Amino acid sequence: MNFATAMPSITLAPHIKQYWALESCVDPAGTYSQRIVPSGFTELMFYSGTLPSVSDAKRAFASPLTISGQQNSYYDLHISGNMSVFSIVFKPHALMMFFDVPASEFADRTVCLTEIARDDAARLSDKLQGSTDFDDKVAAAEAFLINRLHQNKKHFASERISHSMQHIAARCGIINVESLAETACLSRRQFDRTFTETIGIRPKAYLRAIRFQYAIYQKSCNPGESLTSIAYASGYYDQAHMTNEFRQLSGLSPKQYFKDCEIHSDFFG
């Protein structure tokens, strides 16, 4: 199993977090299941080999080239046979900078890229399919993204909400929606609508996901810390509040999650 990552070019750095690839995920004769939890990011993913199956029908793969939107809950990914994946990870506010579609259209869904960018998607798919070199795949992704960035409309809402995302990250999700709306110079209702269209899910749901990610990050940094301490440090009222949030977002209690899952935060890692 080979894992690789790369950072975006200067042109794309304001909008793209990173690229990553995983080659030969499992033994061709074996199977593997992974619980996918809210990360705070949207990803464009290209699968080669056997497409994975999923526990949620709305996440089913109809194509090897798909956009995976923001999550309100968890689902399971089932991998069998020889499969590899290449991913473009968008910064939370950035999807509408490349695709003239509200990010809310992708929430809790996996969408075939050809549905929204048919010709560009076909060209990107051909280039990714024809390359076995990670750097070549990154170059193909960069060319695709820069082309989409130049031809797509400018969304000033994305720029406005990107400032809100900076506040959310700096506060580790421990901030209320009213404060975010005030900082964005919008009413609560305007902010809720603009945020949901730009990010994909409502601000309150997104803050839950980031606090969840921060709790995972806290545990990874302080493996011996008690669950009560982790709960308070992550902005929960108490341990019971954290347990309830973990069950909704991962299907597991914090104790189960930290025991059975990799303790790594996609957002803060």
Point out the domain boundary residue: 151, 183, 199: 151
pTM for this structure?
Answer: 0.93
Do 9 and 120 reside in the same domain of the chain?
Answer: yes
The pLDDT value given to residue 1: 62
Domain assignment present for 224 = yes
Q: Is residue 144 domain-shared with residue 216, that is, in the same domain?
A: no
Same domain, 93 and 111: yes
**Share of residues in the chain with pLDDT > 90 (%):** 77
Categorize the per-residue pLDDT at 156 as very low, low, confident or very high, splitting at 50, 70 and 90.
low
Write out pLDDT tens, residues 230-251. Answer: 999 999 999 999 999 999 999 9
| Domain co-membership, 116 together with 80 | yes
**Residue 268 placed within a domain:** no
Tell me: pLDDT of 113 over 70: yes
With respect to residue 228, please indicate whether it lies within any of the assigned structural domains: yes
Contact between 19 and 131 under an 8 Å Cβ cutoff? The reply is no
Q: What is the pLDDT of residue 244?
A: 98
Mean pLDDT, rounded, of the chain: 92
Total number of domains constituting the chain: 2
Q: What is the rounded distance in angstroms from the CA atom of residue 120 to the CA atom of residue 67?
A: 14
Weakest-pLDDT range from 118-127, 145-154, 188-197: 145-154
Going by pLDDT thresholds of 50, 70 and 90, the confidence category of residue 27 is low
pLDDT of residue 67: 96
pLDDT in tens, 174-224: 999 999 999 999 999 999 999 999 999 999 999 999 999 999 999 999 999
49 and 171 housed in the same domain: no
Residues in CB range of 64: below 8 A, 6 or more apart: 46, 47, 48, 51, 125, 129
pLDDT on residue 25: 60
Same domain, 200 and 255: yes
Q: Is the dihedral of CA 191, 145, 209, 68 positive or negative?
A: positive
Q: Please give the residue range of the domain that contains residue 244.
A: 157-260
Q: Are residues 166 and 248 in the same domain?
A: yes
For residues 60-78, average pLDDT: 92
The answer to whether position 166 is within a domain reads yes
The Cα 159–Cα 266 span in angstroms is 23
Q: Which pLDDT does position 59 carry in this prediction?
A: 87
Check whether residue 33 and residue 120 sit in a common domain: yes
Domain termination residue (choose one: 116, 151, 186): 151
pLDDT grade for 159, boundaries at 50, 70 and 90 = confident
Q: Is residue 266 part of a domain?
A: no
Token pair of 255 as six digits: 């104790």
Listed residues 118, 151, 184: the one ending a domain = 151
Does one domain contain both 128 and 89? Answer: yes
Please give the structure tokens belonging to residue 265: 């935060």
What is Dmax (Cα atoms) for the chain?
56
Q: Is residue 269 part of a domain?
A: no
Same domain (yes/no): 45, 121: yes
